[in-house]
Structure 1
Amino acid sequence: MKLLTYSLAAGLLSASIASADYLKPLMNPAELSNSLDQANPIILDIRGDAYQDGHIPGAISAPYGLFRGPKNNPGQLLDEDVLEERFEALGLELDRPVVVVSEGKTDTDFGAAARVYWTLKSTGFEDLAILNGGKQAWEQAGYPIDKTNITPKPTELDITFSPQWTATTEQVVSVTKEEVDSLLLDARPASFYEGDKSHGAASRPGTLPGAENYYYASFFNGGSAAISSDIDVQALKVTLGLEEDQEIVSFCNTGHWAATNWFALSEVAGIENVKLYPGSMVEYSNLDLPMENTPGVVENL
């Protein structure tokens, strides 16, 4: 088990990759503004009630909670039919670009956008982007804010959830038993990884057996709410100890911070075979499965 650190610096190899005709996975405000007429994207504002106080013109309110599980397992995957119904109500179309917008107040906000992006990609949406820095970056760049409540026109969809970017509990257990050679990457702060803290819905503190710690905030410069788009991919692979063609399983407490690591590794760095464990430690800890860094009886007194 190791706590891994990697230094981001300006001027490194930019590894952003374009996954679609119009959008690239990570967009700045100017790029989004320039794409509005050509790409005609659906802008999903995932901030919830804050939408009413002002949003990017034309944006649709799609609160983050629509993409999350129950309180006792927030990272739990929603059923296909539930996602389909919610996407239809939002007016989503598989062949129309989608841009996900969070608040952008802190780096943890990015995890919400990344989790929504991952959910959409896993259900067949290909032309996707995240607005880097969220609504606050848009406003700070001098672009207009609107308070008009946009009512989407419902659509009809037929989605199928792809397991390509998902690690199930069963698959994770296989990795912990060393039946599968995958890199388990804990995205949480060291205090969670080391078992000093735990999520309120987790039954035990600690981490997955054999996991290494790579704090999601390592992908942000100087406390910025915008993720770095400059990643030296080879240096990162060395830091992670990633072997050729080795699969990465990103996890945290509820698949939120882990979504940031998944996005940075898969969509920005372009590393293949990166998966997200949606339920993460909340789901895993509530099962009778072995863990590491779990305090003993004396430490819990």
Structure 2
Amino acid sequence: MPRIFSNLLLAAAVLLGASFAPAVAQPLVDIDWAKANLGKPGIVFLDLRSGGGLTKEGYLKEHIPGAIFTDYAKDGWREKIDGVEGMLPPPEKVAKLIGSLGITNASHVVIVPMGRAAVDMGAATRIYWTFKVLGHDNVSILDGGYQAWAAVDEKTKQPINPIASGGAELPPTTFTPHFRKEMVIDRNDVKKAMEAGVPLIDNRPNDFYVGLTTSPVVKRAGTIPGAKSLQESWLTKNNGGSFRSKSQLQALYKQAGVPVEGEQITFCNTGHWASLGWFVSSEILGNKNVKLYDGSMAEWSQHPELPVEQKFKLD
């Protein structure tokens, strides 16, 4: 009887959506997985094509059936803090946003980026990192993004996969954050790491790295002294919406002089491109000792006492 009672409790817990261990999803899912799991309870497709320039109107015209929309720039995923653009808001504030979208702590969130270029895949990795910081491991990214989902049959010229129009919404709910403070570092942590010789990885395009180009939110051109350059465009196939294989990434890291294990810190201008580097190192290559510097050069460059190296200057 005790064993039967225990089994009944387990079955009831499953039916109620409870779990006895935190759910851990695969970092990347492909189109076949998405098709097989479309419409299943507990799986939420989060349309993040706004990170690739799509408006809400564009989403209403076509999207993956059941996918809910969020605006990467406007909904509150990032905000200006202490004069620094693009920072992670307080955990409770982001949790309120997540709950308003109908996402619970039991939801498996599948982030759907545009999938045209590495830069919009960066929106997906940034939101993925945000979920991880809030203690939510049941999150994945659709490799190839919506571009892969919306592929057209060469003969019929019709979409291979189902596409819906109109809006899709979930009832607002409560999402409780479990903040992993060890994942969020500030400029003082980076300074100590720099002085200790911990590898610092600049995931911006090379013209930013050498100091030829400067973001409007960055006060001084250049990079953190000693940083290695590993451009975000290297991390996806042909700078597109699909990540490179593990073996290819390992070869590219070797070419860039970037280790694939051990402590390291990724950064960029505002923590967007750097999230791509963090995702590849942590989630694809399996280096759990990598951290993302949220403030990046936007914060670092605002403090005159912190050094910036400009590798090339034009007269």
Q: Structures share a fold, TM > 0.5?
A: yes
Give yes or no for contact 1:29–1:137 (8 Å, CA) kept in 2.
yes
Give yes or no for contact 1:94–1:126 (8 Å, CA) kept in 2.
no
Return the letter of the residue paired with 1:41. Answer: I
1:169: which partner in 2?
187
CA distance in 2, matches of 1:209, 1:103: 34
Compared CA separation, residues 274 and 22, structure 1 to 2 (3 A):
closer
Deviation of residue 196 (structure 1)?
0.5
What is the number of residues matched between the two proteins?
277
Please say if 1:109 is aligned against 2:117. Answer: no
1:145: which partner in 2?
163
Deviation of residue 243 (structure 1)?
6.2
Give yes or no for contact 1:247–1:273 (8 Å, CA) kept in 2.
yes
Alignment of 1:125-274 (within 5 A): 125-140=136-151, 142-176=160-194, 178=195, 180-231=196-247, 235=251, 238-239=254-255, 241=257, 246-274=262-290
Give yes or no for contact 2:111–2:128 (8 Å, CA) kept in 1.
yes
Return the letter of the residue paired with 1:129. Answer: S
Structure 1 stretches (4+) deviating beyond 4 angstroms? 232-245
User: Which moved further from structure 2: 90-99 or 238-247?
Assistant: 238-247
Q: Give unmatched runs, 5+ long, in structure 2.
A: 1-21, 153-159
The structure with the largest alpha-carbon Rg is 2
CA distance in 1, matches of 2:94, 2:241: 28
Give yes or no for contact 1:43–1:99 (8 Å, CA) kept in 2.
yes
1:45: which partner in 2?
47
Deviation of residue 163 (structure 1)?
2.6
Please say if 1:27 is aligned against 2:29. Answer: yes
Deviation of residue 270 (structure 1)?
0.9
Deviation of residue 105 (structure 1)?
1.8
1:8: which partner in 2?
none
Return the letter of the residue paired with 1:24. Answer: Q
Return the letter of the residue paired with 1:144. Answer: P
Give the TM-score of the pair, scaled to structure 1. Answer: 0.84
2:79: which partner in 1?
69
2:93: which partner in 1?
82
Question: SS of the residue aligned with 1:70?
Answer: strand
Give yes or no for contact 1:188–1:257 (8 Å, CA) kept in 2.
yes
Question: SS of the residue aligned with 1:249?
Answer: strand
Give yes or no for contact 1:94–1:124 (8 Å, CA) kept in 2.
no
Question: SS of the residue aligned with 1:74?
Answer: strand
Give yes or no for contact 1:165–1:273 (8 Å, CA) kept in 2.
no
CA distance in 2, matches of 1:164, 1:34: 36
Return the letter of the residue paired with 1:110. Answer: M
Q: 1:241-283 deviations in whole A, cap 9, x for unaligned?
A: 5669631101111111111111111111111201111121111
2:297: which partner in 1?
281
Question: SS of the residue aligned with 2:79?
Answer: coil
Structure with larger RCO (C-alpha < 8 A, sep 6+): 1
Compared CA separation, residues 202 and 62, structure 1 to 2 (3 A):
same
Return the letter of the residue paired with 2:309. Answer: E
Return the letter of the residue paired with 1:206. Answer: G
Give the TM-score of the pair, scaled to structure 2. Answer: 0.80
CA distance in 2, matches of 1:161, 1:203: 30
Compared CA separation, residues 23 and 159, structure 1 to 2 (3 A):
closer
Give yes or no for contact 1:204–1:294 (8 Å, CA) kept in 2.
no
Give yes or no for contact 1:205–1:294 (8 Å, CA) kept in 2.
no
Question: SS of the residue aligned with 2:247?
Answer: coil
CA distance in 2, matches of 1:160, 1:33: 31
How large is the RMSD of aligned CA atoms in angstroms? 2.4
Give yes or no for contact 1:73–1:283 (8 Å, CA) kept in 2.
yes
Deviation of residue 96 (structure 1)?
1.6
